Amino acid sequence: MKKKRLIKKIYRWIGIGLIITSIVLFAAGSYFFKVAQVRDVRSNQPDVLRSKQDALYHYENSFLKQKKQMLHQTTKDHLKLDAWYVPADKATNKTAILAHGWHNNKTTMAIYGQLFHELGYNVLIPDNRAHGDSQGKLIGYGWLDRRDYIGWINQILQKNGQQSDIVLYGMSMGAATVLSTSGERDLPAQVKAVIADSSYTSVWDEVKYEANNMYHLPWFPLVNVVSGISKVSARYSYAEASPINQVRKNTRPVLFIHGDKDDFVPTKMVYRLYQADNGPKSLWVTKGAKHVQSFHDYPVTYREKISQFLKQYDK
């Protein structure tokens, strides 16, 4: 009898321990979900502008002075998204659609907007859902956004005609966005090329990496819990939000760019993306550059690399 009572007590304490552990894990998962995926006020504010001494001051200052049209899109889940549209100085059928990163917005992309403007492109810069002037409470990490960018592409086709040539460019989360868009079955044929600066392979891989890199926590089972909360709340799990799976289906030319000192999205991810991609591709890993700093560190070469790539694939 004593042995049976002891066993019952052990099972009871194990059960209590499992309940407490589950509550703690759910509370921690909810906290990290809020940090990672719930809209933050920082994503609504314009960037702090560069000083005149900054290597990219010309690009930012020039683009912010451009006269901009406001375009809008209403998504299938009833969010109103906003975008800047700047036509090229000379009439053209070429348009570059630019995707910003996590907690960024349109002003972040001014430097890239001017780069493509000077290369002769019309430029469209959306605020992704849950960023800037666009609606939404939950961040899409490129996965929900991939469908929004199909919408932006189709809007450009309606605005500028079916003869349009379109290039997709993104940095960080924006790079994941354009790579994810590249693998969609209904990607219009007018999309001629994709440029991805500092993309992660999947949200799962990135969050798993950051659990240790930023918070010094074991990834299991916390990432599983946060991913599960995302699946219920945001309609996608971290594993399915996968640029690497999307590029396996891609047939468009891709230029991959990454800094070899990137400790936010580790450089090894770009090699995996490059190997997985099945279309024409090029890889440029910049020496000494940290996360999305390749343009800042190599402004002349960055422009030349993009210009050469576009001359080859968007003639």
Average pLDDT for 184-192: 97
Distance CA 221, CA 270 (A): 26
**12-28: pLDDT as tens digits:** 655 555 565 556 666 76
Count: domains in the chain: 2
Name the packing angle between helices 143-160 and 173-182 (round to 10°).
70
Reduced to 3 states (helix: H, G, I; strand: E, B; else coil), residue 76 is coil
Which CATH number belongs to the domain containing residue 173 in this structure?
3.40.50.1820
Distance CA 125, CA 224 (A): 33
Q: 10 and 61 share a domain?
A: no
Residue scoring higher pLDDT (5 or 283): 283
**16-70: pLDDT as tens digits:** 555 655 566 667 667 777 888 889 887 677 788 899 999 999 999 999 999 999 9
Q: Please give the model's pTM, rounded to 2 decimal places.
A: 0.93
- Mean pLDDT, all residues of the chain: 92
Q: 222 and 116 share a domain?
A: no
Residue 144 has pLDDT above 80, yes or no: yes
DSSP-derived letter for residue 169 is E
Q: 259 and 163 share a domain?
A: yes
Q: How many CB atoms lie within 10 A of CB 205?
A: 21
Could you tell me the residue range of the domain that residue 5 belongs to? Answer: 1-38+218-234
Q: 66 and 126 share a domain?
A: yes
Q: 82 and 10 share a domain?
A: no
How far, CA to CA in Å, does 44 sit from each of 67, 137, 197? 21, 12, 22
**205-221: pLDDT as tens digits:** 999 999 888 777 788 88
Q: 143 and 72 share a domain?
A: yes
Q: 61 and 32 share a domain?
A: no
**89-135: pLDDT as tens digits:** 999 999 999 999 999 999 999 999 999 999 999 999 999 999 999 99
